[in-house]
């Protein structure tokens, strides 16, 4: 019985991995891993023969079982209009004008999905790997997610941003940097999702940049409230965020410094007083990673307020 189970489990694993590799091949996505970093080369061709290319780099903090198969990164071409409902929550209303809404640039209509596979119930058992052993992907704190494409043109004040969403859910901004090359957008994350590069018109003037920043303060405040924290630690984080809010219009440099202090408190407590593990079993909540994700993109928006443009 033991031998039959082992043969069946490995046949099942082989079938799943073959399916995953076939899907990746048909989507023209090649994924490799080197140490703590995963690389993906994406090349997708539409029905008119137009090809869209990108390189994705994901840098992990202390990953376990990081393999191309476990990561399960795929990419697809999308109709930009089909994603507008999932971006609607990020729109800024305007008096007597249509709202300002991020949108997918038709020059790069690519959505990247990272949905790590949870396989232990299929191909592990107490005889093979020991009771409770998992070979799923896991990591600590956050990953850094970088999308680099020559299909978009970088210029000073670049409007391109990195957005992410739970599978088939609403998108939100996770950008913490935008760089030339032609366009390289970067963000951090504490859990996995779908990713798109958008054109974001909400940084065109000071009032809109302030609205975006205040929205990110609200999002971080709600995430701190929902985290599993001691009352004292939660109050410390909320107090620091309230100081950031209070300084926003009177001392932006001081506000950024206070936000850095808040991020430092999260990082100092990660793994002890704040849960900081993500696993493909999805049985843990990565509070530290998700708070860092929101704090990092808040800092990005505050630096854009300081520079007076979408990019310094």
User: Which positions of the chain have pLDDT values less than 50?
Assistant: 1-26, 122-132, 309-312
Domain boundaries, the chain: 2-202, 206-307
pLDDT of residue 157: 83
Q: Would you state the structure tokens that stand for residue 248, as one six-digit string?
A: 């926003």
pLDDT of residue 85: 97
pLDDT tens for 121-137 read: 544 433 344 444 568 99
Q: Contact, 90 vs 218, CB < 8 A?
A: no
| Backbone phi and psi for residue 48, each to the nearest 5 degrees, phi listed first | -100, 5
pLDDT of residue 103: 98
**Which helix H or strand E contains 72, and what residues bound it?**
none
pLDDT of residue 156: 87
pLDDT of residue 35: 97
**Which helix H or strand E contains 62, and what residues bound it?**
none
Which pTM value belongs to this model?
Answer: 0.86
Q: Would you state the structure tokens that stand for residue 54, as one six-digit string?
A: 């990108």
């Amino acid at each position: 019985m033991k031998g039959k189970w082992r043969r069946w489990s490995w046949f099942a694993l082989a079938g799943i991995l073959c399916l995953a590799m076939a899907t990746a091949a048909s989507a023209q996505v090649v994924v490799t891993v080197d140490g703590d970093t995963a690389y993906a080369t994406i090349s997708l061709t539409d029905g008119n023969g137009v090809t869209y290319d990108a390189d994705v780099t994901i840098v992990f903090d202390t990953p376990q079982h990081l393999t191309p198969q476990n990561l399960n990164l795929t990419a697809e071409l999308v109709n930009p209009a089909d994603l507008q409902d999932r971006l609607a929550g990020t729109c800024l209303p305007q008096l007597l004008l249509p709202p300002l809404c991020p949108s997918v640039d038709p020059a790069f209509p690519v959505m990247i999905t990272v949905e790590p596979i949870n396989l232990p119930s299929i191909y592990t058992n107490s005889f093979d790997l020991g009771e409770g052993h998992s070979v799923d992907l896991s990591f600590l704190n956050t990953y850094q997610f970088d999308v680099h494409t020559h299909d978009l043109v970088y210029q000073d004040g670049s409007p391109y941003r990195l957005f992410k969403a739970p599978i088939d859910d609403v998108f939100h901004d996770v950008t913490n940097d935008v760089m030339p090359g032609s366009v390289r957008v970067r963000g951090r994350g504490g859990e996995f999702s779908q990713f798109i590069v958008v054109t974001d018109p909400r940084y065109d003037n000071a009032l809109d940049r302030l609205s975006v920043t205040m929205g990110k303060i609200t999002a971080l405040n709600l995430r701190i409230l929902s985290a599993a924290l001691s009352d004292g630690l939660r109050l410390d984080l909320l107090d620091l965020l309230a100081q950031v809010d209070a300084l926003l219009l009177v001392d932006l440099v001081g506000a950024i410094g206070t936000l850095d202090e808040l991020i430092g408190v999260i990082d100092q407590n990660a793994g002890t007083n704040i849960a900081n593990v993500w696993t493909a079993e999805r049985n843990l909540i990565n509070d530290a990673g998700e708070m860092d994700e929101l704090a990092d993109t808040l800092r990005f928006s505050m630096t854009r307020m300081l520079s007076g443009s979408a990019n310094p």
